[in-house]
Amino acid sequence: MKEKSFKILSPCGILGYGFPDESFNRAIEMSPDAIVVDAGSTDAGPHKLGAGVAIVSKMAAKKDLRRIITAGYKLGIPVIIGSAGGSGGEVHVKWTLAIIDEILREEGIKDLKQAIVWADIPKAAVREAMRKGEVVPLGTSVPQLEEKALEETTAIVAQMGIEPIIKALESHAGLIICGRAYDPAPFAAVGVYNGYPKALSYHMGKVLECGALCCNPGTTKDCMMGELFEDHFDVYPADPRRKCNTTSVAAHTFYEKDHPFILHGPGIIQDLERCTFVQKAENRVSVYGSDMRDSDGYWIKLEGARLQAYRTFVIAGVRDPILISKLDEVEKAVQASVEKQYEEIDRSLYTIMFYNYGINAVMGDLEPLKDVPHEVGVLFQVVASTQEIASAICASLRSTFMHYGYEGRKATAGNLAFPFAPSDVEFGKVFEFSVYHLMKVSDPCSFFPLEARE
Amino acid sequence: MTRLVELAKVLRSKNSGPFEITLDVLFDDKASYERVKKSGVIDYPAIMKAYSLRRQDISCIVFFDSAMGVKITFNRPISSGSMADRDVYGAQQHAPLMELLIPEQEERM
């Protein structure tokens, strides 16, 4: 008799990143029991959460969602989307729902039961937890959360664990749209709901949430299968040209985590130190020995962003070797001149920054090499309390830099090669993560309400 | 002496959340991994020097035998995507690590 198992298809690492039709069709022929896709990430910075925009285009999200939703519907298996719209806030979930509605209408699907699990955290709840000392910074460089930062934060989400998603599965929804979720949680939830051990389900979710990134060559843009058994799980790519071996899967546990084998999630601590990786077949790796324990209290990770400033920037090239040899000095002089030209604007209202590509733009003061290149890309930016100030100061910076008469100059017609006209780019709002804290909760589901949708 | 980049299969940097950078060095042969691990070159003073960090800014340096890799995680000076950041994904902060010099393995008796 064939051993009982449960197959989860992860079509790609981020919903909207795309996946080849051939891979997806092959994966569907393998008869998955669920399709789960992670749509989220904080990797692209605080702007998506703060400004309420998605991380992929509508066109990209719709293309992926259409294939996933119609395949799941035809097979009669659950489809789960984690961290809808990228940041998983209300506006991001609603953006996703609007796309889903278009697809269902266009495909003539009328009887797909849906469930939404929201992940927005009211400020009042955070304030209450702060009073009880139950909000702590996540990391030693994150400041304690203060009322001012909380007040300025545009929206707060929290990463849900498996519990609210299991509730959605219990409602027999065919399509579950989750707000912000711990990346592996939607995968783990469907495994646990179907009776598989939590530690295996979570570890398999951790591998699957990145699509085929655990393969060689690895990519987030291809389909990966995970299969849960009683005492282990298997992973294998839908495209046999991708090599999946014990090293590539073991190495993947490192990815984007602060520790190689201790992973903290909502209510849990995974311990993967004693895992063993076995090559079961070509391109199929079995993982044994995933361990986990409940954490001391159930803590959820809060994420929130606030407006920091407005930015205007210019990109220009410098090819003159005399200027390149004294670039830092010239930039300082240009900045001083601009500050003097705008004496009436308080210095605390704006900041001028130069990034010299070719010298040390990527690493700043940490750059160990001091080579002098023949060409430098200069990016200068002004961030200010208003867009108007940012643009005014930046324009002045550009014209001063362009014509600045530094000592030893021979090229008296101009210092900068602008690739574009106009040269100044109004970037708009700059956000920062103002909330990145853990909050203690008594019930893993209380902040993640379930909403049925027909 | 051999540069670390020549022994490693993967040597990368990335955000681990918006407030931390994590460096991964992964090997595809046991000999190189053991050589680097036993050399003791990747330690707190070396990372503090390469990235101008205080000891308390480094949250971990951990060798993981079963994955043949070492992970180094430290605080970002500027959080991801905020106004003075230079590398939103933290994906290009690994170059100084490449240049660490690993001594030849001692002769076995």
**For residue B109, is pLDDT > 50?**
no
Is residue A423 a part of any domain in this protein?
A: no
- Output b/e per residue, A73-106; b: 16+ Cβ within 10 A: bebebbbbbbbbbbbbbebbbebbbebbeebbee
A38 shares its domain with A95: yes
Burial bucket for residue A58 (CB in 10 Å: 0-12, 13-18, 19+): middle
pLDDT of A391 reads 98
* Cross-chain residue pair B68–A251, CB shorter than 8 Å: yes
Could you say which residues from 72 to 101 on chain B have a Cβ atom under 8 Å away from some Cβ of chain A?
73, 75-76, 79-89, 92-93, 95-96, 99
A40 shares its domain with A142: yes
The reported pTM is: 0.94
A22 shares its domain with A140: yes
Nearest to A450 by CA among A172, A234, A237, A65: A172
pLDDT of B108 reads 47
Q: Give the residue on B whose Cα is nearest the Cα of A274.
A: B66
**pLDDT > 70: percent of chain B:** 96
pLDDT of A255 reads 85
Instruction: State ipTM.
Output: 0.92
* Count of domains for chain A: 2
A172 shares its domain with A276: yes
**pLDDT > 90: percent of chain B:** 92
pLDDT of A256 reads 83
A297 shares its domain with A159: yes
Is residue A427 a part of any domain in this protein?
A: no
Give A65-79 pLDDT, tens digit per residue: 999 999 999 999 999
Is residue A86 a part of any domain in this protein?
A: yes
The answer to whether B26 contacts chain A (CB < 8 Å) is: yes
A141 shares its domain with A171: yes
Q: Is the backbone peptide bond immediately before A217 cis, with ω within 30 degrees of 0?
A: yes
A193 shares its domain with A147: yes
* Cross-chain residue pair B86–A253, CB shorter than 8 Å: no
Is residue A308 a part of any domain in this protein?
A: no
Instruction: Identify the domain containing residue A204 by its residue range.
Output: 6-303+435-453
A22 shares its domain with A166: yes
Is residue A1 a part of any domain in this protein?
A: no
Is residue A313 a part of any domain in this protein?
A: no
Is residue A422 a part of any domain in this protein?
A: no
pLDDT of B68 reads 92
A257 shares its domain with A329: no
Which regions in chain A score pLDDT beneath 70? 1
A231 shares its domain with A350: no
Is residue A121 a part of any domain in this protein?
A: yes
A33 shares its domain with A76: yes
Average pLDDT rounded to a whole number, residues B69-89: 96
* Cross-chain residue pair A45–B88, CB shorter than 8 Å: yes
How far is the alpha carbon of B109 from chain A, nearest alpha carbon, in Å? 30
Q: Which of B24, B26, B75 is opposite residue A139, by nearest beta carbon?
A: B75
* Cross-chain residue pair B68–A247, CB shorter than 8 Å: yes
Q: What percent helix, strand, coil does chain A show, rounded to 5?
A: 30, 30, 40
A233 shares its domain with A344: no
Whether residue A180 contacts residue A83, with contact meaning beta carbons closer than 8 Å, is answered with yes
Whether residue B4 contacts residue B98, with contact meaning beta carbons closer than 8 Å, is answered with yes
pLDDT of A2 reads 73
Give B26-49 pLDDT, tens digit per residue: 999 999 999 999 999 999 999 999
